[in-house]
């Protein structure tokens, strides 16, 4: 029990519960099941993007282009739907995933084959993908009346009390959990970020693992592109602008180490929900958008400090234990 209480995920869950209780005292009905379901649905896309970001961060990399990938992919499938309304929805969804994965391939190849730092690569492709969305659309919007009803309503259909969008997020969470915990790729992901040198000696191709992480990240961003356009019934160049930072923030708050190799799917989901609760609650209780930004930034900084102190403490324990072993070995008689 004490071990469970010390876990980062348990602490974060308790904080979220306290926040919901506190906000419900200021806004009647905030903690009702229907409103909590709405908050989860509003956070579903962020959860998927944060899981995409987590996969890359675990390999000691970062993907700043996830939101730009979402914007380009969302624009592409929205224009396809508007131009060819008879295309089946499954074809459009698969197209979004494939386009997103191909954009991830570009990031992964530049990081793996050319050994360019991930932050430099994805900062560049962030701008490139946004520019591609502008070129593709000519700066025009694709509005709800140009899209087919099934394209827009598929994710809004309520099943067992939750919209399909929420169920998609739950399925993605389960898939990513299984991939990271029970597949060779998942184990390689943690090893490549936790100790790249040891991973190489263990026979793990660190570069290839990072490449696959970027491809998976791109595929999830591509799926999010369709989900975003269907959810908000509009596609334009600047959709999800700044969401790449929210995805990083959700990971950091959830305990994912920027240094790589440390973190859980549960932590990422809770970090996303933490941001979702804040963004839904602060406007309700009358907090200005500028104050919301300051609060969110403060939370991120505190999370980074907490992570750094935790990792430093672990480092001290390892060093202390190693020193104790060396002293004991010196004291043993020859």
Question: What CA–CA distance (Å, rounded) separates 75 from 134?
Answer: 9
Pairing of strands 234-235, 142-143: antiparallel
Cβ neighbors of 151 (< 8 A, separation 6 or more) are 81, 89, 92, 230
* pLDDT average per 10 residues of sequence, the chain (334 residues): 63 87 81 89 94 94 94 95 93 96 96 91 94 91 92 90 93 95 92 87 90 96 95 91 88 87 91 88 73 73 69 47 43 47
pLDDT of residue 307: 66
pLDDT of residue 25: 81
pLDDT of residue 324: 40
pLDDT of residue 243: 87
pTM above 0.85, yes or no: yes
Question: What CA–CA distance (Å, rounded) separates 90 from 85?
Answer: 13
Under 8 Å between Cβ of 249 and 271: yes
pLDDT of residue 184: 92
pLDDT of residue 311: 61
Q: Show the domains of the chain with their CATH numbers.
A: 36-289 (1.10.3470)
Under 8 Å between Cβ of 119 and 63: no
Residues, the chain? 334
């Amino acid at each position: 029990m004490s071990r469970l209480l010390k876990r980062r995920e348990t602490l974060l869950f308790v904080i979220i519960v306290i926040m919901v209780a506190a906000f419900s005292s200021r806004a009647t009905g905030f903690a009702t099941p229907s409103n909590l379901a709405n908050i989860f649905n509003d956070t579903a896309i962020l959860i998927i993007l944060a899981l995409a970001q987590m996969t890359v961060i675990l390999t000691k990399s970062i993907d700043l282009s996830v939101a730009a990938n979402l914007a380009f992919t969302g624009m592409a499938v929205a224009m396809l739907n508007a131009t060819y309304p008879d295309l089946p929805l499954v074809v459009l969804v698969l197209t979004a995933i494939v386009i997103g994965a191909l954009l991830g391939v570009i990031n992964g190849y530049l990081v793996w084959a050319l050994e360019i730092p991930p932050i430099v690569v994805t900062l560049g492709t962030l701008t490139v993908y946004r520019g591609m969305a502008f070129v593709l659309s000519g700066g025009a919007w694709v509005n709800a009346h140009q899209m087919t009803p099934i394209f827009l309503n598929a994710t809004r259909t309520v099943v067992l009390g939750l919209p399909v969008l929420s169920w998609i997020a739950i399925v993605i969470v389960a898939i990513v959990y299984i991939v990271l915990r029970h597949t060779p790729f998942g184990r390689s992901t943690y090893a490549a970020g936790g100790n790249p040198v040891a991973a190489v000696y263990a026979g793990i191709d660190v570069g290839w693992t990072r490449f696959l992480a970027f491809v998976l990240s791109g595929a999830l961003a591509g799926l999010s592109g369709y989900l975003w356009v269907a959810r908000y019934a509009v596609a334009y160049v600047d959709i999800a602008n700044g969401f790449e930072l929210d995805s990083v923030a959700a990971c950091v708050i959830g305990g994912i180490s920027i240094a790589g190799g440390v973190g859980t799917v549960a932590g990422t989901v809770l970090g996303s929900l933490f941001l979702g609760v804040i963004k839904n609650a602060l406007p309700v209780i009358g907090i200005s958008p500028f104050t919301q930004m300051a609060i969110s930034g403060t939370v991120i900084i505190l999370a980074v400090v907490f992570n750094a102190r935790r990792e430093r403490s672990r480092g001290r324990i390892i060093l202390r234990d190693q020193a104790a072993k060396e002293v004991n070995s010196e004291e043993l008689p020859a």
